[in-house]
Structure 1
Amino acid sequence: MSSRLDPPTSAPGRMPIGEAIDRLVRGGLPLRFTAYDGSAAGPPDAPVGMHLRTERGLAFLMTAPGDLGLVRAYVSGDLDLSGVHPGDPYDALVLLKDNTRFRVPAPTEALQLARGLGLAHLRPPAPPPQEHLPRWRRAVEGLRHSMVRDAEVIAHHYDVSNRFYEMVLGPSMAYTCALYETPDATLEQAQAAKFDLVCRKLGLQPGMRLLDVGCGWGTMVRHAAREHGVHALGVTLSLEQAEWAKAAIDREGLGDLAEVRHLDYRDVVEDGFDAVSSIGLTEHIGVRKYPAYFRHLRDRLKPGGRLLNHSITRPHNRRQETGAFIDRYVFPDGELIGSGTIIGAAQDQGLEVQHSENLRLHYAATLRDWNRNLVEHWDECVAEVGEGTARVWGLYIAGSRVGFERGEVELHQVLATRNHRDGRSDFPMRPDW
């Protein structure tokens, strides 16, 4: 992205923006920062540069200190990066994370800085259109994790553009962690390996019935039907996903085995399924809803049936809200917790947990490959959804990769059974997959 200097526009007597940045960063910036007023900070020979192009960008930084202000300026095009591609700013994020230590100024110094940069910049600009409402304002759409509000926030993230997702996710259209059986596996090979692992853990055999909740574009449904002869039903809250999945089922001639409905998982009334898969749904339902969630899925299973829950987790079991960027731009109302809480909630609803597996590093590799796809198709992605949205995705995917690599987030598959009344689980003495 461009790092050219726009003409200086700072008023006489104003503090240079670069000087203000220098005062707020302990030990200095690891990258080269330049601003529209002609000022600069950081080493001139740094491999990564950041250029603040406009006064609106400065207002974003001053009125939302921290990540949110930076994201607003970046998504709006008021802040540019050089030395990295906007579809994969991974190197810039690692550099900043490892080498930047901001300090909080005392109130008197903060006032001095604000006056020096111009008090007029304390009037917040309108946020970019990609930004969702803050949590407190979403209350008008219904209680958190109510059916109405869940449908709205799911549409915010997933109903972007099926063509955009095709370019970023690749032919599998799988928006969940893949499984890299070898270091040189392609993304498509890794996604196929993930779905096959899920099928093997569930013990799927021809003629069995599978329910896939939060089915996305129907990849698990189609894989189970095509590769294992299973009668598979998938449900998703995203209308665009459901329509794409139905078309894919028709193209592949799987209509006699596979079905996808535009439906909330809570509205599935059929029961007696041999297996239930939930791949990437738990992050959206809310920790307080876990008891009802696992109870509902348990009730869909026949005795001896298996449930596979695949979800992003935290490395601890403390309640912690997601950061402002993820909540406003990526997964509104999303919630993460440790695998211990998920396991405990499943057990409390009468499910016997048979196995748990952490695929954290596999998700880091998946995100790396999504960034590569975004870079490869950048111009077409920008034409499809606009540069601001494309920037959001490049930043989100690369930032998530850093989080998985550093162990700040994990990915767990938890396998459980609904046992018979006499305690039989129909599960082998040892895992057989």
Structure 2
Amino acid sequence: MAKHRMNVAEMVEAFIDPDAPLQVTAFDGSHCGNDDAQLHLEVRNSRAVYYIFENPNDLGLARAYLQGDIASPELTPGDPYEVFKQLQELQAQFHKPTAATLANITSSILSHGFHVPKPPEIELPSVAKRISEGILPHTKKGDAATVSYHYDLSNEFYNLFLGPSMTYTCACFDSEDDSLEKAEYNKLNLVLDKLNLKSGDYLLDIGCGWGSMEVTAAKRGIHVIGVTLSEEQVQWANDWIRKEGLEDLAEVRLEDYRDIPESGFDGICSLGMMEHVGHKHYPAYFKEMLEKLRPGGMLLNHQITRTNSHQGKRAGGFIDRYIFPDGELASPGEIEYVINNVGFEVINQENLRQHYALTLMNWNKNLQRNWKKAVDMVGEQKARLWGMYMAGSRFNFEMNTIQIHQFLCIKPDPETGTTTYPLRPWWPRH
């Protein structure tokens, strides 16, 4: 007897309890769930089914969402956070179908023909494909390509959600009611305070972004060099520096951190750049930083981390293809292990996980507020992509799936030993 050909609603019902607060309607006329369900999803075409069948993970769902193949009246493109929360709550009501049911789902899909739909046009090739094209992970060429992909999008687009500070890293909030701009400048000043820099000192900023640190430091009389691999960021940052009349104190260069000729800096900061370095390259990276500091100089390393060392280093398929190609994260313990081994002394470690969730909440609000402008600038797919990425990141920080740490480190001075910094933390609370 031939097996029953399952429709889309029946495939969904094979994975979720019948009383789950979810309603699904599909292009084939099938539906499941009640009208008063908490979440309503519409599967608009067969491409969505094939995307998820090929990649039953975040990559398949992302492809379908970016193409508009899956929709929901509860879903706000600039800030789909609430839908992510609802999907997470539904996980408790998901179950694994029997092998026979899975086989029937497979045969039902393939009975319509074997299709591998093209991914969205904004998706990057796989790691294997990039390597075959000579773009090797964490080489100078590879880093330049991946950084350019992420950051050379549109300065004006980033300005829509980052706001006037143009600071694309975790802010620091005194309270949840703080404005994003205030919290971002709290963070910039916290970094400078932790580094114990004074007027006339020299700072190196690795992965400087659009220049907010350069302007903030120069206004305090600190000489600062920022480096980035993004041409768009260099132009924006140097224009900003000129407008502020700070050219005698600050500059931003299109330069790989491995090619910086200067050394003897009083301080170095790296804010949100380590995600691009690659775990195997941490020793070489921190050794480079150690050599560029004077004895007694300090490094402030600020990076997203895994919650523990049991989690894998590489990002998932969605992040690798759409957000941070070749991005890798490690646990705070693994990072501190490397920092110590290259010769630094770690003075302080601080987890700002909750602050990043608040930062992302504000970025999503800004994107939603400027949604039409965003779509006009970069197109519907890329605007949806950034809304989804930021909302998903916020959710993961809230759930403690990922964290973000600041490591304050000092290069030991062989002549003065350990008496090179105050006995107690000297930076004010922000």
TM-score range normalised by the length of the shorter chain:
over 0.9
Q: What is the root-mean-square deviation of aligned Cα atoms in Å?
A: 1.6
Q: Pick one of 57, 63, 82 that aligns with 1:91.
A: 82
Q: SS in structure 1 opposite 2:197?
A: coil
Corresponding residue for 1:232? Answer: 224
- 1:417/1:425 contact within 8 Å kept: no
Q: TM-score, with normalisation over the residues of structure 2?
A: 0.94
Q: Pick one of 41, 52, 58 that aligns with 2:49.
A: 58
Corresponding residue for 1:67? Answer: 58
Moved more, 314-323 or 359-368: 314-323
Q: Pick one of 251, 260, 267 that aligns with 1:268.
A: 260
Q: Does 1:21 align with 2:23?
A: no
TM-aligned CA deviation for residue 29 of structure 1: 4.6
Corresponding residue for 1:314? Answer: 306
User: Equivalents in 2 of 1:64, 1:310: separation in Å?
Assistant: 33
Corresponding residue for 2:422? Answer: 428
Give the AA of the match of 1:143: L
Q: Pick one of 295, 310, 318 that aligns with 1:303.
A: 295
Q: Does 1:30 align with 2:8?
A: no
Q: SS in structure 1 opposite 2:14?
A: helix
Q: Pick one of 337, 349, 354 that aligns with 1:344.
A: 337
TM-aligned CA deviation for residue 326 of structure 1: 1.3
User: Equivalents in 1 of 2:217, 2:419: separation in Å?
Assistant: 22
Q: Does 1:131 align with 2:123?
A: yes
Give the AA of the match of 2:61: L
Q: SS in structure 1 opposite 2:28?
A: coil
Q: SS in structure 2 opposite 1:393?
A: helix
User: Equivalents in 2 of 1:52, 1:358: separation in Å?
Assistant: 40
Q: How does 1:115-154 map to 2 (within 5 A)?
A: 115-120=107-112, 122-140=114-132, 141-154=134-147
Q: Pick one of 148, 157, 172 that aligns with 2:150.
A: 157
TM-aligned CA deviation for residue 86 of structure 1: 0.8
Q: How does 1:173-252 map to 2 (within 5 A)?
A: 173-226=166-219, 228-252=220-244
- 1:172/1:219 contact within 8 Å kept: yes
Moved more, 315-324 or 116-125: 116-125
User: Equivalents in 1 of 2:68, 2:18: separation in Å?
Assistant: 28
Q: TM-score, with normalisation over the residues of structure 1?
A: 0.94
- 1:304/1:425 contact within 8 Å kept: no
Corresponding residue for 1:4? Answer: none
Q: How does 1:365-376 map to 2 (within 5 A)?
A: 365-376=358-369
User: Equivalents in 1 of 2:238, 2:181: separation in Å?
Assistant: 21
TM-aligned CA deviation for residue 388 of structure 1: 0.7
User: Equivalents in 1 of 2:256, 2:19: separation in Å?
Assistant: 50
Corresponding residue for 1:39? Answer: 30
Q: SS in structure 2 opposite 1:303?
A: strand
TM-aligned CA deviation for residue 341 of structure 1: 1.2
Q: Deviations over 1:50-106 (max 9, x none)?
A: 111112222212222122211111101111121131111111101101212544445
Q: Pick one of 293, 310, 316 that aligns with 1:323.
A: 316
TM-aligned CA deviation for residue 247 of structure 1: 1.0
User: Equivalents in 2 of 1:269, 1:107: separation in Å?
Assistant: 61
Structure 1 unaligned residues grouped into runs of 5+: 1-12
- 1:302/1:418 contact within 8 Å kept: yes
Corresponding residue for 2:386? Answer: 393
Q: Does 1:383 align with 2:376?
A: yes
Give the AA of the match of 1:155: S
Give the AA of the match of 2:78: G
- 2:8/2:28 contact within 8 Å kept: yes
- 1:308/1:416 contact within 8 Å kept: yes
TM-aligned CA deviation for residue 33 of structure 1: 1.4
Moved more, 208-217 or 17-26: 17-26
Q: How does 1:412-427 map to 2 (within 5 A)?
A: 412-422=405-415, 423-424=417-418, 426-427=420-421
User: Equivalents in 1 of 2:249, 2:396: separation in Å?
Assistant: 38
- 1:63/1:123 contact within 8 Å kept: no
Q: Deviations over 1:231-267 (max 9, x none)?
A: 0000001111111111111111111111000111111
Query: How many positions carry a matched residue from both structures?
Result: 420
User: Equivalents in 1 of 2:248, 2:239: separation in Å?
Assistant: 14
Q: Deviations over 1:181-234 (max 9, x none)?
A: 1221000000000001001000110000000001011111111111x1100000
TM-aligned CA deviation for residue 394 of structure 1: 0.9
- 1:419/1:425 contact within 8 Å kept: no
Q: SS in structure 2 opposite 1:25?
A: coil
- 1:17/1:117 contact within 8 Å kept: no
